[in-house]
A and B are shown apart, each in its own frame.
Chain A
Amino acid sequence: MTDTSVQARHVPDRLNTRAYRTFRSWEALLLAVAIAIFIINSFASPYFLSAWNLSDATFNFTEKAMIAFAMALLIISGEIDLSVASIIALASTAMGLALQYGAGTPELVVIGLTVGLLCGAFNAVFVTVLGLPSIVVTIGTMSLFRGISFIILGDDAFRGYPASFSWFGQGYIYWVFTVEMLLFVIIAVIYGVLLHKTNFGRAVYAIGNNPTGALFSGIRVQRVKFILFLLTGLMSGVAAVCLTSRLGSTRPSIATGMELEVVTMVVLGGVNILGGSGSIPGVVIAAFVMGLVTFGLGLLNVPGIVMSIFIGLLLIGVIALPRLWAMYAARRA
């Protein structure tokens, strides 16, 4: 890179080049992992390299990733929402209930998104207006939202969604490209622009790094957080529409445990769980990594619960390994 000859005080006239930083970044490492998994999978199973199979594999992560983008912003700002899977359950239940009263596809979608927004607003009020810790609030609403689904549905299920409704979760735009894939791309671009190219995005980083400093520099901290909770709720609503449409039925246990996979995806994407740093491209690559891992293991007939071991190891490993490496490097120096 720069000149490193033996001088008493060498001051580089510039920092590492942009290319070098990109090369050394978390996203680059993650991309390498994704490519490695792709290659290993293609050798491990003859069924992996098929356009239709790969298209099916995207269902493993598109719905989770939609929520993960909004969650990434929320975690960067120093908060967290553990209730997203329960919002899906409640939104899906509301859609099923509306169906019983003869709602058509447009109404179902509107209801799903509205319930998602309302749940997000509910969390937001507790966190920003009452000033409560988001982790406790969303552990509470996690029980509450799914609890309401259980009260409405019990051990029953809503079925019989109209055929046009199935377009969201089962439809194809062109050849193997699904509607969900298109939504995933659109949402990724929107959040990428929002976080990296707007004042709002800078405010999110500022709040995550130093909420008091952000307040004193004129950022409406609570309002930004309120909007972030709304966005996370809305994305859970979108995911609820897609998931309900794909499954074609609603049970109160729908999407159980999805909040963990969403958080794993966000952390795997290089977002600091303590807030303050992270990027949308990282989350996009993390979505592909998780999708490829679960799909590849699925082709090898590994049961879902064993896959969750890999997800858990991945979650701890991606944080532990860089720290172990730093400790090793510090000891050697």
Chain B
Amino acid sequence: MTRFIPVREAILAAAILVLMILIASRFAGFVAPSNLANVFNDTAPLIILALGQMVVILTRCIDLSVAANLALTGMAVAMINVAMPGLPIPVILVIAIAMGAVMGAINGILVWKLEIPPIVVTLGTMTIFRGIIFLISDGKWVNSHEMSPAFTGFPRAEFLGLPVLSWIAVACVIGFAIMMSRTPLGRSIFAVGGNPHAAVYTGINVGKTQFVAFVISGALAGLTGYLWVSRFAVAYVDIAGGFELEVVAACVIGGISIAGGVGSVGGAVLGAIFLGVVKNALPVVNISPFWQLAISGSAILIAVAFNARAGRTKGRIILKSAETPTGGTS
């Protein structure tokens, strides 16, 4: 199986290249290094969240609450900044990551200890988190003039030619690449998704691993919450509405099997970049931005149909957590 993964990523990378050549034939400026850096920076939040989602999907779960988690954390840190403008950025970062991790832990506990299907848990917490934003903010916006310059300046500060936001995404990618391939946690995440029964016999606590996956996803959503709000310099109830689907889409396009156990860091990153390129290219080639939703929907369908051909031997098990050796027959 592992031999197929590089091939799949190579195909996706080639698809992105072809896409960029097509765009460049209409508008050469798109592939200029400075513009590509902008596209990457714009895609950075999606990359960070896709990495967290990848870990969750690998353990046969799904986290639909990431966008709501992001929005709630973003609103909370924005309000903290308004109340205490002097609070240094590192403290804000710690608060954001901790808040996100706590929300991820809530999902994780419900999945681990009560064994509620992840899709139900995260559908529920998604609406609950959104509702809480309204409760704490009273439906009001936090605007840029209320935020401190240090708060909004952090993700835009340039370092070696790239904004800090891009560097955080790069650091996350490197960190996850090491974690997934070189640490016991990374290997147990693959083991849990690949075959939960076998994982139990090798001494891995399946529920706990899923819990850790949700905490990781939540922590990254929290981090992205601060970055999102500070980059766009505005916080309101509906920020990043529906973004969870884009994150799942990035993972599916990146070849991460929704049945768990199959996927790679490179795939998730390429999936996110693919969506980022499409999103940024539409206005350049004079296509209405209203096309974006339909295009990402089609991309999901094509990618999942394509990836299913590669991994035909796996049973398709949907929503079943364990105990069913094979799902459908076809």
Contacts and interface: CB of A to CB of B under 8 A. Distances in A.
A-B complex is real: yes
Contacts of A221: 328-329
B116 A319 contact: yes
Nearest to A140: B300
Contacts of A131: 308, 316, 328, 330
A8 interface: no
B319 interface: yes
B91 interface: no
Interface in A131-150: 131-137, 139-148, 150
Contacts of A145: 297
B301 A148 contact: no
A305 B305 CA distance: 36
A73 to B, nearest CB: 15
B294 interface: yes
A319 B120 contact: yes
A263 B123 contact: yes
B6 interface: no
Nearest to A154: B290
Given A139-B245, A141-B301, A147-B292, A133 B318 contact: yes
Given A136-B258, A211-B328, A315-B124, A144 B297 contact: yes
B131 A316 contact: no
Contacts of B319: 78, 80, 135, 273-275
Contacts of A275: 319-320
A257 B121 CA distance: 16
Interface in A211-270: 211-212, 215, 221-222, 260, 263-264, 267
A329 interface: no
8 A-B pairs with least C-beta separation: A147-B294, A143-B297, A144-B297, A309-B131, A147-B293, A140-B300, A131-B330, A312-B127
B115 interface: yes
Nearest to A128: B330
Interface stretch (B26-34, B132-140, B201-209): B132-140
A312 B128 contact: yes
A308 interface: yes
A129 B122 CA distance: 29
A305 B329 contact: no
Contacts of A273: 117, 119-120, 319
Contacts of A212: 326, 329
A152 to B, nearest CB: 9
B300 A136 contact: yes
A324 B114 contact: yes
B325 to A, nearest CB: 9
A306 B301 contact: no
Interface size class of A (residues with CB under 8 A): 35 or more
A323 B114 CA distance: 6
Nearest to B302: A140
A140 B62 CA distance: 15
A68 B128 CA distance: 21
Given A135-B258, A143-B296, A260-B127, A274 B249 contact: no
B316 A264 contact: no
B321 interface: yes
Given A260-B126, A308-B131, A315-B123, 17 more contacts: A78-B328, A135-B319, A140-B252, A140-B300, A140-B301, A141-B297, A141-B301, A145-B297, A147-B290, A151-B291, A275-B320, A305-B237, A307-B131, A308-B127, A309-B127, A316-B124, A323-B116
5 contacts: A132-B308, A143-B297, A151-B291, A307-B131, A320-B110
Contact of B120 (A135, A222, A315): A315
Interface of A: 78-80, 126, 128, 130-137, 139-148, 150-151, 154, 211-212, 215, 221-222, 260, 263-264, 267, 273-275, 303, 305-309, 311-313, 315-316, 319-320, 323-324
Contacts of A142: 245, 297
Contact of B132 (A132, A134, A309, A320): A309
B275 to A, nearest CB: 11
B50 to A, nearest CB: 14
A128 B130 CA distance: 35
Contacts of A151: 288, 290-291, 294
A306 B297 CA distance: 30
Contact of A139 (B126, B130, B139, B300): B300
A154 to B, nearest CB: 5
B181 interface: no
A312 B120 CA distance: 9
A132 B314 CA distance: 11
B125 interface: yes
A264 B123 contact: yes
A183 to B, nearest CB: 27
A275 to B, nearest CB: 7
B124 A312 contact: yes
B327 interface: yes
Contacts of B290: 147, 150-151, 154
B295 interface: yes
Nearest to A145: B297
Contacts of B124: 264, 312-313, 315-316
A139 B130 CA distance: 20
A324 B318 CA distance: 25
Nearest to A135: B318
A315 B327 CA distance: 26
Contacts of A324: 114
Considering residues B294, B318, B321, which has the most beta carbons from chain A within 10 angstroms of its beta carbon?
B318
Contacts of B233: none
B304 interface: yes
A276 B117 CA distance: 15
